[in-house]
Amino acid sequence: MIRSAFPLSLNLLKRNYSNVAPTTKLFIDGQFLDSQATDWVDLYDPATNNLVTKVPKCTHKEMETAVESSRNAFQSWSKTSVLTRQQLMLKLQAVIRRDIKKLAQNITLEQGKTLADAEGDVMRGLQVVEHSCSAGTLLLGETLQNISKDMDITAYKLPLGVTAGICPFNFPAMIPLWMFPMALIAGNTMVLKPSEKDPGATMLIMELLNEIGCPPGVVNVIHGTHEAVNFICDNKDIRAISFVGSDQAGKYIYSRGAANGKRVQSNMAAKNHAVVLPDANKNATLDQIAGAAFGAAGQRCMALSVAVLVGEAKNWIPDLVEKAKKLKVTAGHEPGADLGPVISKESKQRILQLVESGIKEGAKCPLDGRNIKVEKYPNGNFVGPTILTDVSPSHTCYKEEIFGPVLCVMTADTLEEAIDLINSNPYGNGTAVFTTNGSHARQFVNEIDVGQVGVNVPIPVPLPMFSFTGSRGSFHGDLHFYGKQGLNFYTQTKTVTSLWRKGDAAKTAPSVSMPV
């Protein structure tokens, strides 16, 4: 493994810290460092509101040092063989798989989701690592012989340089793993900013990168909020930004990053509708909707947050309520937990306000989880499964992403009406139709204007050989995360046109007129 020379400025920061509480460290040039920050974010266990760690808002100097480290590392990392990069990912997938439970425990502690969900979080990221192990194939360029007489063209996929990743709180392992493995196999380096609300999984993954011999500086981790984001958007050495998070931040980062000449891919908020046709398998469909609406406390960007019941399926609401009632709400590490707490007190407050607004604006609430008591965890940010019916498109609870365990139920007389409703919504992250009728399913797939569509599949997140293709208001950019598009996002194309002639032909003076 190539080890880049440790820059002088970094020696001042270099100490022998591990990344355990009470403070979250920076990861710069392969070292876990104490931040000199004066401003810190307190991170609380969402199930108890006990302090877990303090996360620094990095100083400007620390962020500069991180980029300097990534810039230095790029010099050697971009020249490593594709097989070297591929082998790093093969090792990474083995150690992540080995430590999946440890990672999941950290996710449950900091983010609150159930252990099973937390393992799923790691698994979906691991799949991208596994996909990136085929770097050799993914990076193949194109070539065409005899494009003109004795002339050939070859197109190479080359790295960009230093890239950056800005992550949300809801998938603390999966989203960083959507980003840096794809960037690295293409020969880039990356500065990662995990969510200040749960950076622990990223830090554990950095320990794994050190264990497998990843050269220092290939990935650096900084922490912070708006200032760190502004720094990334403005820094002249950062060539591309991958962002996943809310609309407000995503639109801002997209504009500010692009104005500074950077490539930006920005995955944002969602309002995902499930269309239930009366010919669907009732029991299986309602189980799937309950799981996709309330699982992970509704804090998935692909959560089904709106159910559109068509025709006779309008009568299925009582059965849906019964299924939702049975879900067990408790701390994520408790056996049998179906959903844990939401991320913060502020988030809980916001969810409760949106439910309240729905009721005030005319919705009914046959299942109200606002006052749930979870005995062992009286201080947790729990919201029980909540169902709002009679919701209309003008209601605030429909117009805004709630990001909590709240399902809005709407009705439609026909499939066409349901499709119109969804196509009129500004978001296009995901949707699903439940039916046993092939022609209805086909009509839905053809006419729906949403980037990720499930047919009898509630959360249709594509596997990494495809890309995550949210559309319209849920995405800004041209190239999506992972898969072929992800690789294209992290590479630039160089085309080489070569003319090789033999003997006297090579000595002929070329014409000065434009070749045709």
Active site members: 301
Collapsing DSSP to helix, strand or coil, 454 comes out as strand
* Closest among 205, 134, 120, 192 to 464, alpha carbons compared: 134
Place of tokens 């001042």: 12
In whole angstroms, how close is the CB of 211 to ligand NAD at the nearest point? Answer: 26
Distance of closest approach, residue 90 Cβ to ligand NAD, in angstroms: 26
The residue number with the shortest CB distance to ligand NAD is 245
Query: Which DSSP state fits 339?
Result: B
Residue closer to ligand NAD (CB basis): 120 or 159: 120
Cβ-based neighbours of 142, under 8 Å, separated by 6 or more: 154, 155
Q: Which is nearer to ligand NAD, 229 or 459 (CB)?
A: 229
CA distance 494 to 516: 22
Nearer to ligand NAD, 197 or 440 (CB): 197
Strands (E), 252-350: 263-267, 272-276, 304-310
Pairing of strands 453-455, 406-412: unpaired
Interface residues with ligand NAD (CB under 6 A) are 166-171, 193, 195-196, 225-226, 229, 244-246, 248-249, 252, 267-270, 301, 401, 403, 429, 468, 470, 474
Give the nearer residue to ligand NAD in terms of CB position, either 167 or 304.
Answer: 167
Q: Kindly state the smallest distance separating residue 250's Cβ from ligand NAD, in Å.
A: 7
Nearest Cα to Cα of residue 301 among 156, 427, 157, 440: 427
Judged by CB, which is closer to ligand NAD: 78, or 246?
246
What would the DSSP string read from start to end of 471-488? Answer: EETTEESSS-BSHHHHHH
Chain centre distance of CA 57: 22
Q: Are 221 and 214 in contact (CB under 8 A)?
A: no
For the bound state, the minimum distance from the C-beta of residue 188 to ligand NAD, rounded and expressed in Å, comes to 20
- As a whole number of angstroms, the distance between CA 28 and CA 62 comes to 9
The minimum distance between CB 167 and ligand NAD, in angstroms, equals 5
Q: CA 303, CA 403: separation in Å to the nearest integer?
A: 8
- What is the SS3 assignment for 5? coil
- CA atoms of 429 and 472, how far apart (whole Å): 8
**DSSP secondary structure string, 250-276?**
HHHHHHHHHHTT-EEEEE----EEEEE
Q: By C-beta, is 91 or 193 nearer to ligand NAD? A: 193
CB of 26 to ligand NAD, least distance (A): 15
